[in-house]
Structure 1
Amino acid sequence: MRLPTGRAALAASAAATVMLLTAACGGDTEATADEASDPAATSDAPAADPNATFQDGTYQASGTYGNPGGQSSIDVTMTIADNTVTDLKLEPGASGTSLQYQKQFIGGAADEVVGKKLGEINVSKVSGSSLTSTGFNIALEQIQKDATA
């Protein structure tokens, strides 16, 4: 079946765009997917009630998320005092390009979280890593549940 001229041009343009993105990222589809995602993208985890009361303490949770290379996870440890995050530790659970993105995320996440009220946090893209935030927000939601007074 022959496509009309307009559709053929559109199809060729789309194919060329995919080829350019792949070439620009050295053929690494994971980098293409992470870099091309919407900078405002967030996970499905909603922020908790900003007026919620949380118990002081240190909480740990893991968030697993999918990426073009498979599954990755990130371990999150937060210390909370007076409803505010006072300390954040992150441990990567990825390899290859995903690990590189997780390291970028880990390098910038504390600036987005420490000093903020636990009920107001919902992290999106940090330091060029948008998929890692999905795993982080899954762990954050569990920590918020665990710390609910």
Structure 2
Amino acid sequence: MKKLPWLSSLLLVLAYMGFGAFLHSRHSSDLVWWLALGHAAIESALLTVMWKPLRNFFLLGFQSDVGYTVMALVMASLAVVIVSWIQIFIYFLVMLAAALLLRVELLIRNIGNSLSFVTLLFISVIGLGLSRLATELPIYSLH
């Protein structure tokens, strides 16, 4: 049994806990929390089991002038979204960076895609769950 990289796992938990605290501070609905869980699942899948198809899709876009033009338009649109929602973007960027760090650690330990997906998803859900649990405690709402 290969050991789990604890530092990168802790960073991923803390990143998702920070995002959960942000959701709580915005008084987000249950739907938004479910969307956050969906994001964790999609991010975990894209970094593990869907990595090769995703990489091939992006590389396909750079094989023609039309692909370059579409990529430039997408990147420009993304830049507008980033500037408009900078605080939310930073949370997503931190969660992605922590997930990538853990994914690299799992790759170094030769852990397969399926187990890596489960590990990334489980740790992300733990972070969201801990933040949701902490926000439900009576001591948290004593402002």
What is the TM-score when the length of structure 2 is the normalising length? 0.26
Which structure has the highest helix share of the two? 2
Which structure has the greater CA radius of gyration?
1
- Select the structure with the greater relative contact order (CA < 8 A; seq sep ≥ 6): 2
Which structure has the highest strand share of the two? 1
